[in-house]
């Protein structure tokens, strides 16, 4: 295995193209664990952290662009991010321990392809877009279009994700992410739910996105659940309908972290709770 | 005579006797006499046992004195963590 | 495959070493530099016994490559406190009997010091969540939390 | 018994503390040697397989590889128990569980060693496997070893059933006949791991002449020496074993896993060999505790008096014969004064790693079943759970369920302290339940050696042979200081290697403070006797006319002579002129360790929508006889309680249908983390042990016994449904709701 610090994004793309089984390396909290546990090591690790702009959080068109090597800890300390997309920030901050937060990145969390990745439901709910540099140049994709299956993304071999864009949001909007783990920390999500919504002046939900994690081969948007919230003030009937739609959207697996039945039940509970938090963050009162 | 108490599953080797009276002044003497009376106990005693003499537990000690009216409870050799 | 030459700063001293690309910073500290204060409890970032500071951030050195710290500043437990004065976190861990076997202690020292540098007055809950990545199997954490609280109080007092 | 203490009960700093907060302390993996090789072990990917052949030629041919071994490299041994240990370290003929060692290499670097493992070709023939205790006991189950079925067992159980024990007295059928209410329940508990943070590690150097040095992380370096000497067919005197600082053991380091392998690799290569387990190896191949399947039946009168009690315990202990269920069967009802009681236990083999002790081995799961049924009876009969336990509590003079009649014990005191504690009467929030349970552990004495030297400057060196697993060097120094009448800081206690002090049993059974303490006091008394003799010589009076008071020799009275007291320092300073160095030592096997009882009280909140349980408040009461260093006694109680909480809520070995372990890491083997817990409030009860000069009882193990039931009782009361299996993971609780 070789290790190379990429000088710039283009350099990284060409290194990717030239290697057999390369891995991009920013926080390393997934790559190094896989190597330790005996996975086939990559022939080349390409370190993105020293590329200009990769570690920046910067305002753009009313939204925020987060560079690929920005760590969870840095996101947690970003007042502008916390103010605009608190649900995304809290999702990223839930990944791993304080030590992992010092290294792990949101882009890495996305590109690792885990169905249980905490940040991905929040990114889906936020309608975030991913900026990709590849052999044919730069393109932007919605987060949903990057997801393919467990451990898989739709990215091409020489593609690198350089940043994620969190769009501007209207007034009276809020988002939230909740996950369930057996302990209070240090676990992988058994199920997760993210809600982003905006309200009218009377507190009625104008628009909503609902996304779930760890209950299907990838994190998924649940339009039916969003529809259940729209037009409501999160009355019990609306929340019940949202929860039901979330349960219906589940196609989880039984494994050492949870059963099908348990994950399905959790999806509804978490969505309901996250919806309430997002609603209050948007200025609504329950 | 010391009163020797045999724990449940060991009674299969003492013809069902739960309590046995033995004249002995030390643990070794007691065990020797016990095995002489119930030869089936030999393997168990050789593998190691614990004894409680009047409520105090002793592991494999030969020369612990036994009082004339002592209660001696035979127990498996105990282990800890 | 050739080794990589790295110049970095560890506990304030310039250090140079050669390492394999796949070696972790923890391997380098322990096997090449004889700094065995950081421990390998898991090698997968789950236990925190290898905690060090990397450019001002608390990290697991088992999840950092030795090859990527060129030009960085690293602080290990060996760099905490001075010969004549322990850091308050270290002293209070001793005074509160906040260790039994002591294998997690170096990681706890580094992590707790990092917390108090960022937050001078953490709540019990904040201390517990900050240290959630530092597993301790002996103490049940009670005395560790109390030691960090006491160190925080002393450090706040010292600043006045 | 001594009552007025100057040093005991204070909280001085531990002698190894500074090294441990600064990173200087050397643990198992922290030592290296010039020219050292790195070893790795190849492990079975199958739950049960015949090893048809192992081809090591490609591995041997890899540049940098200095030795490759398999089970064939180990000659047979006389003792079958040692053979099991050896075959657990390196499989011979069959791989008996996922992770069983089948070959090992030593090479010039970790990297080369890892590459060499990939080149070893093992031809396996896969055999049927069994990992569940009830399935393994069924006739027709795949049998791990033939010819080891327990004595007296019939055809109704399989050959995996390696032992049967029963204890008790009275006539249980008559007792159940007198009951107003009888409850009979079945329980299951998962296997858990000791979860020490330091993986097994050693550095071995063994010459062709059979002389060797071994540095390792262990709870007993004499045990390591004797097992390794037997396995490698060398003399015990020629193998010097030094115990490193030990990063946790909890019973899991009371045997060998890697040391014979490292020694063999060193012997073959002629070089020092370092062998360190990865965390995955720790879980797959080092000692978990037993899983269990339990039935408990208890009868009670309306007033709460237990009329009869019966427990059946089936323990699963992994891939080799073992004897441990008796500890559970003896512990199950130890807390109660019962007229009619029986407990039975079966030890069963399965295709899992060989079990090894885990803190009060065998007791927590047995007591979990018993305390659960008592709690359910209290609920059903509308009885207060503490009053009911007090009504039935064992006390001095009680004939225990396992035979002996108790001397002075502190269960009643602990229950009364719990009842009077504000925790017991505090209001409970919604979705919260309060659980209570008693626990018990025997505590042991055992063989011990202590050597003490009085230095010319008035300081004292003390060498003992038990690895210090949680601050025992501090408590031993304190007892030495108390006995000698000098300051704690004037004593330095070290753990000697196997060549520097006499044999000592393993650090287990909560025995070290008790047994090493007695030996220390006796060693001090020997030194005191000599110091009195020297003073008598100087004063030219009779030796018997000198006594030792407050760290100084003094005449026994005016008639004996009129001399001012002569301090230890003064006597030591002239020792070179009065007869040479002064020392004291003691070798012995103290018994009368004194049992210990605990009572735990816990408030748990259960989220009714997710099944998530959080511990809101925890108070642990324990009789420790006499707390030498109260901080470390509290630490034992707190640590044991939290290990029990982990066992109750989330920790488990998870096996798939394929017999492979699914969670060999701290990510999915979920030990409690700091944010899972509240403060753990320890309440020390001191009912002195008549068997120790200072009243000490062991205190390390009891605290892991009550929490399984206490937490389960709390959860059951919080959700209004009884829980019958551990761990009570959220899916299981939600299902019950």
- pLDDT for D674-689, tens place per residue? 999 999 999 999 999 9
Q: What is the pLDDT of residues D136-148, one digit of tens each?
A: 999 999 999 999 9
Residue C160 has pLDDT above 70, yes or no: no
Asked if domains D38-127+201-276 and D291-403+411-443+594-736 share a fold, the reply is no
pLDDT in the model for residue D557: 84
DSSP single-letter state for residue B12? G
What's the CATH class of domain D38-127+201-276? alpha beta
Provide the pairing of β-strand C73-75 with C4-10. parallel
Closest chain A residue to the Cα of C112, Cα to Cα: A98
Please state the φ and ψ torsions of residue D17, each to the nearest 5 degrees: -65, -45
Cα gap A125→A128, rounded to integer Å: 8
Terminal Cα-to-Cα distance of chain A (whole angstroms): 56
Contact: D444, B80; criterion CB under 8 Å: yes
DSSP single-letter state for residue A10? H
Mutate to test the interface with C, among D40, D112, D197 (most CBs of C within 10 A): D197
Q: Is the dihedral of CA C102, C108, C113, C119 positive or negative?
A: negative
The average pLDDT across A240-250 equals 98
Q: Could you say which of A3, A73, A99 has the minimum Cβ distance to residue C67?
A: A3
> Helix, strand or coil for residue C54?
strand
Q: Could you state, in order of their start, the residue ranges of all structural domains in chain A?
A: 1-47, 173-281
Measuring CA to CA, which residue among C43, C48, A39, C49 is closest to residue D280?
C43
pLDDT in the model for residue D71: 98
Q: How many CB atoms lie within 10 A of CB D303?
A: 11
Q: Is D317 on the interface with B (CB under 8 A)?
A: no
Q: What is the pLDDT of residues A128-157, one digit of tens each?
A: 999 999 999 999 999 999 999 999 999 999
The average pLDDT across C55-80 equals 97
Triad C107, C27, A19: Cα angle to 5°? 125
Q: Which two tokens stand for residue B7?
A: 């724990």
The DSSP-derived string for A26-83 is SS-TTHHHHHHTTPPPPSEEEE-TTSTTTT-EEEETTEEEEETT-BHHHHHT-HHHHH
The DSSP-derived string for C13-25 is EEEEEEE-TT-BH
Contact: A102, C44; criterion CB under 8 Å: no
Q: Could you say which of B59, B74, B76 has the minimum Cβ distance to residue D446?
A: B59
What's the CATH class of domain D291-403+411-443+594-736? alpha beta
DSSP single-letter state for residue D304? S
Cα gap B35→B59, rounded to integer Å: 17
Rg of chain A taking only CA atoms, in angstroms: 19
Closest chain D residue to the Cα of B18, Cα to Cα: D169
Cα gap D449→D463, rounded to integer Å: 8
Chain D residues near residue C124 by CB distance under 8 angstroms: 679
Q: Is A96 on the interface with C (CB under 8 A)?
A: yes
Cα gap D335→D400, rounded to integer Å: 8
Helix axis angle, D80-89 to D259-269, nearest 10°: 70
Contact: D663, A256; criterion CB under 8 Å: yes
Contact: D676, A266; criterion CB under 8 Å: no
Closest chain D residue to the Cα of C140, Cα to Cα: D639
Q: What is the pLDDT of residues D507-559, one digit of tens each?
A: 998 899 999 999 999 999 999 999 999 999 999 999 999 999 999 999 998 88
Cα gap C6→D528, rounded to integer Å: 60
Cα gap C149→A97, rounded to integer Å: 20
Cα gap D430→D605, rounded to integer Å: 8
Residue C64 has pLDDT above 80, yes or no: yes
Q: In Å, how far is A61's CA from the nearest CA of chain D?
A: 39
**Successive 10-residue mean pLDDT values, chain B, 81 residues:** 90 90 93 94 88 86 90 87 79
Residue A263 has pLDDT above 80, yes or no: yes
Q: In Å, how far is B54's CA from the nearest CA of chain D?
A: 7
- Chains in contact with B, where contact means 3 or more Cβ–Cβ distances below 8 Å, are D
Helix axis angle, D363-381 to D385-392, nearest 10°: 120
Q: Could you say which of A2, A36, A185 has the minimum Cβ distance to residue C44?
A: A36
Q: Is A100 on the interface with C (CB under 8 A)?
A: yes
Contact: D326, B81; criterion CB under 8 Å: no
Q: Is A50 on the interface with C (CB under 8 A)?
A: no
Cα gap D54→D103, rounded to integer Å: 8
Per-residue confidence band for A40, with pLDDT thresholds at 50, 70 and 90: confident
Q: Please report where in the chains the tokens 């877009």 appear, as a residue.
A: A129
Q: Could you say which of D152, D168, D510 has the minimum Cβ distance to residue B12?
A: D152
Cα gap A126→A167, rounded to integer Å: 8
Decide: D188 and D723 in contact? Cβ < 8 Å. Answer: no
Total residue count of chain A as it appears in this document: 286
Chain B residues near residue D691 by CB distance under 8 angstroms: 56
Q: Could you say which of D27, D194, D677 has the minimum Cβ distance to residue C103?
A: D27
Chain A residues near residue D609 by CB distance under 8 angstroms: 269
| CATH superfamily assigned to domain A173-281 | CO dehydrogenase flavoprotein, C-terminal domain (3.30.390.50)
Cα gap D118→A219, rounded to integer Å: 36
Residue C1 has pLDDT above 70, yes or no: no
Per-residue confidence band for C159, with pLDDT thresholds at 50, 70 and 90: low
Q: Could you say which of B7, B59, B80 has the minimum Cβ distance to residue D167?
A: B7
The DSSP-derived string for D239-282 is EEEEEPB-S--TTTTSS-SSHHHHHHHHHHHTS-EEEE--HHHH
Decide: A212 and A191 in contact? Cβ < 8 Å. Answer: yes
Asked if domains A1-47 and A173-281 share a fold, the reply is no
Closest chain D residue to the Cα of B63, Cα to Cα: D589
Measuring CA to CA, which residue among D646, D707, D716, D712 is closest to residue D682?
D707
Q: How many CB atoms lie within 10 A of CB D297?
A: 19
Q: What is the pLDDT of residues C101-128, one digit of tens each?
A: 999 999 999 999 999 999 999 999 999 9
Cα gap D240→D203, rounded to integer Å: 12
Q: Which structural domains are found in chain C, ordered by start?
A: 4-79 (3.10.20.30), 88-159 (1.10.150.120)
Q: Which structural domains are found in chain B, ordered by start?
A: 2-76 (3.10.20.30)
Per-residue confidence band for C82, with pLDDT thresholds at 50, 70 and 90: confident
Decide: D316 and D191 in contact? Cβ < 8 Å. Answer: yes
Q: Is D387 on the interface with C (CB under 8 A)?
A: no
The average pLDDT across A278-284 equals 97
The ipTM is 0.97
Q: Could you say which of D13, D247, D640 has the minimum Cβ distance to residue C101?
A: D247
Contact: C139, D111; criterion CB under 8 Å: no
Task: Quickly name the fold that domain A1-47 has.
Answer: 3.30.43
Residues 6 or more apart from D166 whose CB is under 8 A from it?
B7, B8, B9, D329, D342, D343, D344, D345
Q: In Å, how far is D669's CA from the nearest CA of chain A?
A: 10
Residue A108 has pLDDT above 70, yes or no: yes
The average pLDDT across C36-62 equals 98
Contact: D675, A266; criterion CB under 8 Å: no
Chain D residues near residue A257 by CB distance under 8 angstroms: 668
Query: Burial of C157 by CB count in 10 Å (0-12 exposed, 13-18 middle, 19+ buried)?
Result: exposed
Low-confidence spans in chain D with pLDDT less than 70: none
Domain spanning D445-588 has what CATH number?
Answer: 3.30.365.10
Cα gap D146→D149, rounded to integer Å: 7
Measuring CA to CA, which residue among C88, C85, C96 is closest to residue C147?
C96
Decide: D712 and D368 in contact? Cβ < 8 Å. Answer: yes
Closest chain C residue to the Cα of D274, Cα to Cα: C31
pTM of structure: 0.97
Residue A251 has pLDDT above 60, yes or no: yes
Q: Could you state, in order of their start, the residue ranges of all structural domains in chain D?
A: 38-127+201-276, 291-403+411-443+594-736, 445-588
Q: Is D665 on the interface with C (CB under 8 A)?
A: yes
């Amino acid at each position: 295995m070789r290790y190379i610090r990429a000088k710039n994004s283009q350099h990284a793309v060409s290194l990717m193209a030239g290697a057999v089984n390369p891995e991009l390396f920013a926080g390393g909290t997934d790559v190094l664990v896989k190597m330790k546990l005996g996975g086939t090591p990559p022939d080349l690790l390409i370190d993105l952290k020293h590329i200009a702009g990769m570690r920046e959080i910067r305002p753009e068109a009313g939204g925020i662009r987060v560079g690929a090597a920005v760590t969870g800890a840095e996101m947690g300390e970003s007042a502008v991010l916390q103010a605009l997309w608190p649900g995304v920030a809290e999702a990223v901050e839930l990944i791993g321990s304080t030590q992992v937060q010092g290294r792990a990145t949101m882009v890495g969390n996305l590109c690792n392809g885990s169905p249980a990745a905490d940040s991905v439901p929040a990114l889906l709910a936020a309608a975030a877009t991913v900026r990709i540099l590849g052999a044919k140049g730069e393109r932007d994709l919605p987060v949903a279009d990057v997801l393919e299956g467990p451990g898989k993304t739709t990215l091409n071999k020489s593609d690198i994700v350089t940043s994620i864009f969190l769009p501007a949001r209207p007034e009276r909007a809020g988002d939230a992410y909740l996950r369930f783990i057996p302990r209070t920390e240090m676990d992988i999500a058994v199920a997760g739910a993210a809600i982003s919504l905006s309200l009218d002046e009377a507190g009625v939900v104008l628009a909503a996105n609902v996304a779930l994690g760890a209950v299907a081969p990838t994190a998924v948007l649940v339009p039916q659940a969003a529809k259940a919230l729209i037009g409501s003030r999160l009355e019990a009937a609306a929340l019940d309908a949202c929860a039901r739609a979330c349960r219906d959207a589940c196609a989880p697996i039984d494994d050492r972290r949870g059963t099908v039945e348990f994950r399905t039940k959790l999806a509804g509970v978490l969505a309901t709770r996250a919806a309430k938090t997002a609603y209050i963050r948007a200025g609504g009162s329950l | 005579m010391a009163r020797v108490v045999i724990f449940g599953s060991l009674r299969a080797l003492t013809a069902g006797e739960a309590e046995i009276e033995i004249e002995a002044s030390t643990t070794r003497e007691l065990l020797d006499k016990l095995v002489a009376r119930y030869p089936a106990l030999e393997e168990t005693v050789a593998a190691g046992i614990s004894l409680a003499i009047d409520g105090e537990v002793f592991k494999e000690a030969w020369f612990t004195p036994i009082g004339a009216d002592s209660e001696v409870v035979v127990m498996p050799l105990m282990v800890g963590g | 495959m050739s080794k990589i030459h790295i110049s970095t700063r560890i506990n304030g001293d310039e250090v140079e070493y050669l390492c394999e690309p796949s070696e972790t910073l923890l391997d380098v500290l322990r096997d090449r530099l004889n700094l065995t204060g950081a421990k390998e409890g898991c090698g997968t970032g789950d236990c925190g016994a290898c905690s060090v500071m990397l450019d001002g951030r608390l990290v697991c050195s088992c999840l950092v490559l030795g090859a990527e710290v060129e030009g960085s500043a690293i602080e290990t437990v060996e760099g905490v406190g001075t010969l004549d004065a322990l850091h308050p976190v270290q002293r209070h861990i001793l005074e509160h009997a906040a260790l039994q076997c002591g294998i997690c202690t170096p990681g706890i020292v580094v992590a707790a010091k990092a917390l108090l540098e960022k937050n001078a007055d953490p709540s019990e809950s904040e201390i517990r969540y900050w240290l959630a990545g530092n597993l301790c199997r002996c103490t049940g954490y009670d005395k560790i939390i109390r030691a960090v609280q006491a160190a925080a109080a002393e450090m706040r007092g010292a600043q006045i | 018994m001594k009552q007025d203490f100057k040093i005991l009960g204070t909280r001085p700093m531990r002698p190894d503390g500074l090294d441990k907060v600064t990173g200087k302390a050397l643990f198992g993996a922290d030592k290296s040697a010039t020219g050292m090789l790195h070893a790795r072990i190849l492990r079975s990917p199958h739950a049960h397989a015949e090893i048809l052949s192992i081809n090591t030629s490609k591995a041997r041919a890899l540049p940098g590889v200095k030795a490759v071994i398999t089970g064939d490299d180990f000659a047979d041994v006389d003792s079958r128990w040692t053979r099991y240990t050896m075959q657990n370290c390196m499989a011979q003929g069959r791989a008996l569980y996922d992770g069983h060692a089948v070959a090992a290499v030593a090479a010039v670097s970790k990297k080369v060693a890892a590459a060499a493992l990939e080149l070893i070709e093992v031809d396996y023939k896969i055999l049927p496997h069994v990992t569940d205790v009830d399935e393994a006991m069924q006739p027709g189950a795949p049998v791990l070893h033939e010819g080891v079925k327990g004595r007296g067992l019939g055809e109704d159980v399989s050959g995996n059933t390696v032992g049967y024990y029963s204890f008790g007295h009275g006539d249980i059928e008559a007792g159940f006949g007198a009951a107003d209410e009888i409850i009979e329940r079945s329980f299951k508990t998962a296997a858990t791991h000791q979860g020490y943070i330091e993986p097994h590690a050693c550095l071995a150097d063994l010459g062709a002449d059979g002389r060797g040095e071994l540095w390792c992380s262990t709870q007993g370096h004499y045990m390591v020496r004797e097992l390794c000497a037997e396995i490698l067919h060398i003399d015990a005197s020629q193998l010097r074993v030094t115990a490193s600082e030990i990063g946790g053991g909890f019973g899991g380091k009371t045997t060998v896993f890697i040391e014979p392998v490292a020694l063999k690799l060193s012997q073959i290569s002629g070089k020092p060999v370092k062998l360190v387990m990865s965390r995955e190896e720790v879980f797959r191949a080092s000692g978990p505790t037993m899983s269990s399947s339990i039935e408990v039946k208890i009868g009670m009168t309306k007033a709460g008096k237990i009329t009869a009690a019966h427990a059946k315990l089936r323990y699963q202990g992994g891939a080799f014969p073992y004897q441990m269920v008796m500890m559970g069967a003896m512990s199950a009802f130890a807390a109660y004064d019962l007229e009619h009681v029986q407990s039975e236990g079966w030890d069963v083999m399965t295709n899992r790693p060989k079990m090894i002790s885990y803190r009060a081995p065998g007791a927590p799961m047995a007591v979990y079943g018993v305390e659960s049924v008592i709690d359910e009876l209290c609920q059903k009969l509308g009885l207060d759970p503490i009053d009911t336990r007090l009504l039935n509590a064992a006390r001095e003079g009680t004939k225990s369920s396992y035979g002996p009649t108790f001397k002075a014990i502190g269960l009643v005191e602990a229950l009364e302290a719990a009842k009077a504690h504000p925790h017991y009467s505090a209001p409970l929030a919604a979705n919260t339940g309060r659980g209570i349970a008693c626990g018990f552990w025997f505590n042991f004495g055992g063989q011990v050696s202590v050597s003490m030297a009085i230095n010319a400057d008035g300081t004292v060196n003390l060498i003992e042979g038990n690895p210090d697993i949680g601050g025992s060097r501090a408590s031993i120094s304190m007892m030495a200081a108390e006995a000698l009448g000098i300051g704690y800081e004037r004593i330095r206690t070290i753990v000697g290697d196997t060549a520097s002090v006499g044999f000592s049993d393993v650090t287990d059974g909560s025995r070290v403070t008790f047994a090493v303490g007695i030996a220390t006091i006796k060693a001090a008394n020997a030194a005191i006797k000599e110091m009195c003799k020297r003073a008598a010589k100087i004063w030219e009076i009779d030796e018997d006319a000198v006594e030792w008071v407050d760290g100084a020799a003094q005449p026994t009275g005016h008639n004996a002579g009129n001399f001012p007291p002569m301090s230890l320092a003064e006597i030591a300073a002239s020792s070179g002129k009065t007869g040479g160095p002064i020392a004291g030592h003691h070798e012995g096997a103290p018994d009368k360790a004194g049992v210990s009882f605990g009572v735990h009280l816990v408030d748990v909140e259960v989220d009714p929508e997710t099944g998530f349980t959080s511990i809101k408040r925890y108070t642990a009461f324990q009789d420790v006889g006499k707390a030498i260093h109260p901080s470390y006694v509290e630490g034992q109680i707190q640590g044991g309680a939290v290990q029990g909480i982990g066992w109750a809520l989330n920790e488990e070995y998870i096996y798939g249908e394929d017999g492979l372990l699914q969670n060999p890491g701290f990510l999915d083997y979920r030990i409690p983390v700091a944010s899972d817990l509240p403060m753990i409030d320890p309440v020390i009860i001191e009912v002195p042990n008549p068997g120790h000069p200072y009243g000490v009882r062991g205190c390390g193990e009891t605290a892991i016994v009550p929490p399984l039931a206490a937490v389960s009782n709390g959860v059951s009361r919080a959700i209004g449904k009884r829980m019958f299996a551990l761990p009570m993971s959220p899916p299981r609780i939600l299902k019950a709701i």
